[in-house]
Amino acid sequence: MVQKQSIILGIESSCDDTSVAILEGNRILANFIANQEVHTEFGGVVPELASRAHQQNIIPVIEKGLKEANRSLSEIDAIAYTRGPGMLGSLLVGSSFAKGLSIALNKPLVEVNHMKAHILAHFIKDNASCPQFPFLCLTVSGGHTQIVLVKSPLDMEVLGKTLDDAAGEAFDKAAKMMDIPYPGGPLIDKYAQEGNPKAFPFKISNMKGYNFSFSGLKTGILYFLRKKVEENPNFIAENRADICASIQHTIVATLLKKLELAVKNLSINEVAIAGGVSANSELRKQLKAKEVLGWNVHLPKFEYCTDNGAMIAIAGKYLFEVEQFGELQNPPSPRLKF
Ligand code: KG4
Ligand code: ZN
């Protein structure tokens, strides 16, 4: 007899994207994301505006998701939601909604760690490839930068992390210095396509072990731009592509240096990237180039790089299968431990 595959509703609301997905087995039936435009003019996410926008978006996004998936709420087996890490006000909207649905439908609740979910997005069926355990995952987002040893969907160990800014934050803050709107990462990536990555050499930080630091680079870029703009007020506009390519080159080199060290020391050639910055074209290109060295490189599909409900649903599925259910009284956790 064919066993019925579980259907999981995934709700993501940790930052500025309200997203809902419906997953059947390992297959995504719908993955809707409502981006919030309200933050662009402020150069970063404004927490209060983010939670208000989540409140406006969440019901329409769930309705769209169910319609696209051609499923009704009664067919859902569990509701998975992001418990943390993230911004409290944003997390509160998703978690309250998930809890309300769980009570109304009498269906189990599953609490998902956002960073683990980024990694588990690799196991959604429509990715180009799927990593074998154990593998190393460079998890790079707006709030985190980690090298994780992934032994199984439920057994992961952080080998190293950033001691200050995250890689995505480095992209966004550098962009802000150049008056590039938030989120700056994708735009730096775009402008860098036309630029020379060696035009302006910035320093690659060298932290102990597998740890990272990006705050020195941020300060380095700030002083560099200040000096150049004093000499020529049009410096940024005239050199935008070269500046972007140089910054991107430095961030990618910093990330790859530590990943290479982990691959060498642990003798693990199975390598993946996850999180918003894994959408970066230079990072993807340079990682793919490592395949000649025997690395098996897994790049997530673009829609599963930045925040999405699909990754919450797949992470929720693994917890649901072992009956690790959430508790209604558990509050959202902005600094949820990995
Ligand atoms: O995972 P994510 O969507 O949200 C967090 O969990 O933080 O990551 C967002 C981050 C932002 O900093 C954004 O600038 C960065 O990912 N990002 C990129 C690219 N696309 C998104 N950074 C560099 N290149 C990109 N193509
Ligand atoms: Zn994220």
Residue nearest to atom 16 of ligand 1 (CA): 276
Instruction: Please choose from 165, 177, 306, 307 the residue to mutate so as to test ligand 1's pocket, defined by most ligand atoms within 8 A of CB.
Output: 306
Best mutation site among 83, 165, 171, 302 for ligand 1 pocket (most ligand atoms within 8 Å of CB) = 171
Q: Tokens standing for 83?
A: 């418990």
Q: What is the pTM assigned to this prediction?
A: 0.97
CB 314 within 8 A of CB 301: no
Cα(141) to centroid of ligand 2, in Å?
6
Atom 7 of ligand 1: nearest residue by CA position: 142
**Ligand 1 lined by 108 (C-beta under 6 Å):** no
Q: What is the mean pLDDT of residues 161-177?
A: 97
Q: Is there a cis peptide before residue 85, judged by omega within 30 degrees of 0?
A: yes
| Pure H helices in the chain | 47-69, 88-105, 114-120, 167-177, 184-192, 215-231, 235-266, 281-288, 309-321
Q: Which among 83, 177, 277, 335 is the best mutation to test ligand 1's pocket, defined by most ligand atoms within 8 Å of the CB? A: 277
Question: What would the pLDDT profile of 251-300 be if each residue is shown by its tens digit?
Answer: 999 999 999 999 999 999 999 999 999 999 999 999 999 999 999 999 99
Measured CA to CA, the distance from residue 39 to residue 35 in angstroms comes to 10
Protein residue whose Cα sits closest to atom 8 of ligand 1: 276
User: Is there an atom of ligand 1 within 6 Å of 12 CB?
Assistant: no
Q: How far is CA 165 from CA 210, 214, 258, in A?
A: 15, 5, 16
The first and second tokens of residue 134, run together, are 């154990």
pLDDT digits (tens, 9 = 90+) for 215-225: 999 999 999 99
Span from the CA of 324 to the centroid of ligand 1 (angstroms): 30
Cα 304 to averaged position of ligand 2 atoms, centre (Å):
10
Closest Cα to residue 125, out of 11, 19, 5?
Answer: 5
Nearest CA to ligand 1 atom 21: 276
Exposure on the CB side of residue 268, measured as CA atoms within 13 A: 19
Q: For residue 278, which ligand has an atom nearest its CA? A: 1
159: part of which helix (H) or strand (E)? strand 155-161
Ligand 1 center from residue 134 Cα (angstroms): 25
Which token pair is 299? Answer: 């790049």
Distance 252 CA to ligand 1 centre (A): 13
Write b or e for each residue in 139-165: b if 16 or more Cβ atoms lie within 10 A of its Cβ, otherwise e. bbbbbbbbbbbbeebeebeebbbbebb
Binding site membership of 185 for ligand 1 (Cβ less than 6 Å): yes
* CA 62 vs CA 68, 101, 113: distances in Å: 10, 11, 20
pLDDT for 309-336, tens place per residue?
A: 999 999 999 999 999 999 999 999 999 9
Cβ of 197 closer than 6 Å to ligand 1, yes or no, is: no
Alpha helical stretches, state H, 267-308? 281-288
Name the pLDDT band for 152 (thresholds 50, 70, 90): very high
Helix (H, G, I), strand (E, B) or coil at 328: coil
What CA–CA distance (Å, rounded) separates 194 from 189?
10
Q: Which of 2, 22, 1, 19 is nearest to 11 (CA)?
A: 19
Q: Work out the percent of the chain whose per-residue pLDDT is above 70.
A: 99
CA 112, chain centre distance (Å):
14
CA of 184 to the centre of ligand 1 (A): 8
For tokens 């890689």, name the residue: 167
- Write out 37-85 in H/E/C secondary structure: HHHHHHCCCCHHHHHHHHHHHHHHHHHHHHHHHCCCHHHCCEEEEEEEC
- Ligand 1: atom nearest CA of 184 is 14
Atom of ligand 1 nearest to the CA of 142: 7
pLDDT at position 30? 98
Q: Give the tens place of pLDDT for each residue, 142-151.
A: 999 999 999 9
